[in-house]
Each structure stands twice: as C-alpha cells, then as structure tokens.
Amino acid sequence: MTTSQTAPAAVKILVAGGFGVGKTTLVGAVSEVAPLRTEEYLTKASVGVDDLAGIGQKDTTTVALDFGRITVSPELVVYLFGTPGQERFWFMWNDLVNGALGGVVIADTRRLDTSFASIDFFESRDIPFVVAINCFHGHNTRTAEEIRAALDLDPHVPLLIGDVRLRPFGRDVLLALVDHLMSLPAAAG
C-alpha cells in the first residue's frame, strides 16, 4: 500500500483490568485528548474478518473501548487502549491485542480477582505488563508483598500503588512499563 513518509508512526499500550477499576480514568489522566470511544463487532465463534458474513446473527457481540493518545515526538505517537472490563470478548479482538508494546493491568485491592483474567491473558500472549494498584476508592491497607502473593505475580513484574486520577502516577506506571520492556532480553538484542 502507498506509505506516507510524513505521518508519525504509532505504537499502542493496552490498559486492562476488572470492571470499574479505573482503566478509562488512567487513560484520561495521561492522554493529551479526552478519551475517545470506538467499537468493533466480534463474532463469538471466530473473529476473522472473513467470518463477518455472519453479522446480524446472534453470535455477534459489540465490544467498545476507550482510548487516548500521547504524542511522544513529531515522528511517534503512543495510543493507550482501555480494554472493556467485564467484557471477556476483547480477548478475541486480534487487531487490538496483536502488536501491543505492552500492557498495564489495573487492580483494586478490594476485589483483586476481577483482574486475574487480564494477567492470565497478557502472560499467555507473551505481552509484557506492569500492575497498577488503584487506590481512588480509599486507602489501601495491603502491602505490595501481600498483593503480589494474592495476584500470584512473577517477581520481575513491576507493581505500583497509587491513584490513577493523577497524571504523575499514570506517567510513572507507563515509565515502569517502558523500563520493564528495556530490561527484557529480546529488547536488548
């Protein structure tokens, strides 16, 4: 296809986690624009584009996601996609998950289990990720070690605790992800 030399290149980071943990809030806190919303149709059996002939039948679901952008330089834009919390079908949105730089899993200490699926997903797809514990619902009384144990987190996965409404915290979470990516063997090659 005709390529454009003047357009910036793009990379994406996925922001996942359970229902209502603060994904959209984090995207909005670091994005240079108010979070935008888009949606896609997914067929539950198979999500290949070829299979969309089945559209209009009952095996199709709509998955919506919020996203924001950070212009890193005139040549590079980072898109942040907040994946739908209660919706397990985003896992099948191949275009969404393929080629992601990495992921952020947001968790709430009162219901850590709602973020298990996101952790499992990133691990299974070999997408590097960091965990952000969001405290906007009140004070967190658990230590990082307790949370790590409860999430059964690999020791090398960064874990940060803070308030996702605050841009400095969102920035630190994303920086922790980039540092984590830089520490991985494949990136060093």
Partner 1 sequence: MTPYWDEEEPEEDAAGTMVRPYTITHGRTAPERDDFSLITVLTTAGEPLDEHGVPLRAGRLQPEHRMILDRCRRPAAVAEVAAGLDLPVSVTKILLADLVGQGLLLARAPLTVARASGGADMGLLAAVRDGLRRL
Interface region with partner 1, contact rule CB under 8 A, candidates 19-27, 91-99, 143-151, 154-162? 91-99
102 scored as a contact of ligand GTP (CB under 6 A): no
Task: Determine the Cα–Cα distance for residues 182 and 163; give it in Å rounded to an integer.
Answer: 25
Tokens of residue 163, six digits: 């308030």
Q: In Å, how far are 61, 69, 104, 111, 181 from 119, measured between CA atoms?
A: 23, 23, 9, 14, 16
Q: Which does 165 bind (CB under 5 to 8 A by kind): partner 1, ligand GTP, Mg ion, none?
A: ligand GTP
Q: What is the DSSP string of 82-144?
A: E--SS-GGGGG-HHHHTT-SEEEEEE-GGGGGGGHHHHHHHHHTT--EEEEEE-TTS---S-H
Interface region with partner 1, contact rule CB under 8 A, candidates 18-26, 64-72, 132-140, 143-151? 64-72
128 scored as a contact of partner 1 (CB under 8 A): yes
Closest of 184, 136, 140 to residue 158, by C-alpha: 184
Nearer to partner 1, 22 or 108 (CB): 22
> What residues between 10 and 49 interact with partner 1 by CB under 8 A?
10-12, 30, 36-41, 49
156 scored as a contact of partner 1 (CB under 8 A): no
With vertex at residue 70, the alpha carbon angle to CA 29 and CA 79, rounded to the nearest 5 degrees, is 95
Q: Which residues bind partner 1 (CB under 8 A)?
A: 1-4, 6-12, 30, 36-41, 49-50, 52-53, 55-58, 60, 62, 67, 69-73, 75-79, 81, 95-96, 98-101, 126-128, 167, 170-171, 174-175, 178-179, 181-182, 184, 186-189
